[in-house]
Amino acid sequence: PVIREVYYFLCVNNVINDLENQMEALTSERDNLLIRVAQARERTEIIEKPVEKWLNDVENLLREVDVLLQRTETDNNCFQGWFPTCGRYLLCKQMVEKVTAIGKFKGKSNDIQPFSHRAPLPGVQYESSEDFIYFESTKMAYSQLLEAIEDD
């Protein structure tokens, strides 16, 4: 535990690089999933809720990571970052937590099944045949068809 805490102080640049790499990988995975969603919508399919939830969670996580990365650029430390401060330590600790959170989302977009389903046709409803009225021409055609089927 002590080594991990010292790591937060001394290896800030490594954590930032790791976070940026993880963020790029998750962004490309999100973009690939968005392409699949667009293709499914072109086929008039409805996207399943787990896919939309994954996309929303990833968007929120990427926004949080972007805020952290912006804070690292605007954070004024003693001696241009060579001397670690408490704020830099807390920021690094948050970044390590975000790297772990990104790891939970990476690779999961392909595992979401089912991805989408076909939308019902608009205006087409199945009606019950209880109130169906047979016309004479329908009865005659039905009987002729039944006779033709029974005839060898």
Q: What is the pLDDT of residue 24?
A: 93
Q: What is the pLDDT of residue 127?
A: 63
Residue in 70, 58, 17 with CA at minimum distance from that of residue 34: 58
Mean pLDDT by 10 residues, the chain (152 residues): 58 81 92 92 89 93 90 62 62 84 85 80 67 80 90 80
Entry pTM: 0.67
Q: At what angle do helices 86-105 and 2-10 cross, to 10 degrees?
A: 100
Q: What is the pLDDT of residue 57?
A: 94
Asked whether 58 and 32 are in contact (CB, 8 A), the reply is: no
Q: What is the pLDDT of residue 37?
A: 92
Q: What is the pLDDT of residue 85?
A: 60
- Biggest alpha carbon distance in the chain? 100
